[in-house]
């Protein structure tokens, strides 16, 4: 995929698989909702979750978004980089609200229209912001049946 196709694919994607390293160097892989915020893949998570503990210790992260159920439809984007954990309450709420809107609310909803439950959740959350160092992508639809 070219850069525009990658951006469009990520914008339309639903669930990312996020890989971090446990202390024994094995992979911890979890599905996460995400949004591209300020140009970076961003997710919010409980501050005490295993993935956050892993990323605080070692910020190396890989994020995969994929689609397609038949081989000739498979496509995906793999992002490798460094995670930054954001725990500033205002930033957590700002980014959390953008993620919330992607999955739950109309795009035009303003911060004043956030559900109170989201505000309460933000107190226990952090945001994972990925700075991408490397992107790999594929789109089997472009192969035209020649595999």
Domains of the chain: which residue ranges?
3-143
Q: Which CATH architecture has domain 3-143?
A: Roll (2.30)
- Contact by Cβ (8 Å): 63, 41: yes
Helix (H) or strand (E) holding 102: helix 89-104
pTM over 0.75: yes
Beta carbons of 46 and 52 less than 8 angstroms apart: yes
Residue 9: helix, strand or coil by DSSP?
A: helix
Q: State pLDDT tens for residues 48-93.
A: 999 999 999 999 999 999 999 999 999 999 999 999 999 999 999 9
Torsion of CA 86, 90, 94, 95, to 10 degrees: 10
Summarize the confidence of residues 17-45 as an average pLDDT. 97
Neighbours of 81 (CB within 10 A): 19
């Amino acid at each position: 995929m070219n850069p525009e196709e990658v951006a469009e694919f990520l914008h339309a994607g639903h669930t990312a698989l996020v890989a971090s390293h446990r202390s024994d160097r094995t992979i911890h892989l979890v599905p996460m909702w995400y949004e591209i915020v300020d140009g970076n893949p961003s997710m919010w998570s409980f501050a005490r979750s295993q993935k956050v503990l892993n990323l605080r210790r070692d910020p190396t992260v890989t994020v995969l978004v994929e689609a397609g159920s038949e081989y000739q439809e498979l496509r995906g984007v793999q992002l490798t980089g460094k995670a930054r954990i954001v725990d500033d309450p205002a930033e957590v709420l700002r980014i959390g609200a953008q993620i919330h809107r992607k999955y739950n609310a109309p795009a035009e909803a303003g911060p004043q229209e956030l559900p109170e439950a989201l505000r309460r959740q933000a107190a226990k959350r952090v945001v994972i912001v990925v700075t991408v160092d490397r992107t790999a992508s594929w789109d089997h639809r472009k192969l035209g049946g020649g595999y």
